C-alpha cells in the first residue's frame, strides 16, 4: 500500500507480487547502486523472453548529461561485458525525457510510473546471461536517482484451458504490450 513520495504511484506494480527491488534512494551524495542476476536461458524451449517492470525517480539539476542522475539496464553473456543487441537502456535525467512526468511534490524531480520492458532471449537459448540494473546520483554529489524493479522470465507460451465441450477459448498472454496478433 506504500506509494512513492515524489511520483505518488504504488511502489509495488499492479498485478505483481508483494515485493520489488528498490535500487538507490532519495539521498544525494554521489552514490551509485547496482544489482545483477546471473541465470541460464533454458535450452529446451523454442522461445524465451525476459519481462521486467520498472519505475524511475530522478532529480533533474540540469547538469551536463555525463553528470546527471541515471538508471541503466544491461543484459550480457557471462564472461563478457558487451551488452546484447537491443538489450541495454539508459535513462538520464533531462527535461522532456519521453515517458517521464514532473513531480507534483517537487518540480525538480521527474518520474516514470510503472512501465514494462521486454527482451527476446531466444537467440541465447542455453547460454548463461547476466541481467544488470544500475542507478546513480549526479556526479557532483547533490542530486539523487533511484528505481523500483520487478523481473520475471518466461517462455512465450500462451496459457489456456480448453475442453472439447467448451464453445469459447480464453487466452492469457503476458501483460503490458500494446497489441497481439494471433495466427492459426
CB 59 within 8 A of CB 93: yes
Q: Express each pLDDT in 54-85 by its tens digit.
A: 999 999 999 999 999 999 999 999 999 899 88
pTM over 0.85: no
* Distant-in-sequence, close-in-space partners of 181: CB < 8 Å, separation ≥ 6: none
- Tell me, what's the pLDDT at 173? 63
Q: Which of 147, 151, 150 is CA-nearest to residue 69?
A: 147
Q: How far is CA 5 from the centre of its chain?
A: 20
Bridge partners of 57, per DSSP, are: 111, 146
Q: What is the side-by-side strand order in the sheet with 32-40? A: 32-40, 128-136, 70-77, 89-92
98-154 pLDDT, tens digit each: 999 999 999 999 999 999 888 888 899 999 999 999 999 999 999 999 999 998 755
Q: What is the pLDDT of residue 88?
A: 87
Asked whether the predicted pLDDT for residue 156 surpasses 60, the reply is no
Residue 18 CB neighbour total at 10 angstroms: 5
Amino acid at each position: 500500500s506504500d506509494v512513492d513520495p515524489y511520483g505518488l504511484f504504488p511502489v509495488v506494480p499492479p498485478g505483481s507480487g508483494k515485493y520489488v527491488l528498490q535500487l538507490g534512494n532519495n539521498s544525494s551524495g554521489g552514490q551509485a547502486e547496482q544489482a545483477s542476476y546471473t541465470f541460464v536461458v533454458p535450452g529446451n524451449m523454442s522461445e524465451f523472453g525476459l519481462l521486467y517492470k520498472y519505475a524511475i525517480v530522478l532529480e533533474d539539476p540540469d547538469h551536463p548529461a555525463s553528470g546527471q542522475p541515471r538508471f541503466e539496464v544491461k543484459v550480457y553473456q557471462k564472461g563478457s561485458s558487451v551488452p546484447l543487441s537491443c538489450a541495454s537502456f539508459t535513462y538520464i535525467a533531462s527535461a522532456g525525457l519521453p515517458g517521464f512526468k514532473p513531480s507534483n511534490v517537487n518540480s525538480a524531480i521527474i518520474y516514470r510510473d510503472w512501465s514494462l520492458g521486454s527482451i527476446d532471449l531466444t537467440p541465447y537459448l542455453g547460454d548463461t546471461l547476466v541481467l544488470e540494473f544500475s542507478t546513480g546520483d549526479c556526479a557532483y554529489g547533490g542530486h539523487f536517482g533511484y528505481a523500483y524493479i520487478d523481473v520475471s522470465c518466461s517462455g512465450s507460451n500462451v496459457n489456456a484451458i480448453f475442453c472439447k465441450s467448451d464453445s469459447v477459448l480464453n487466452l492469457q498472454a503476458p501483460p503490458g504490450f500494446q497489441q497481439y496478433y494471433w495466427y492459426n
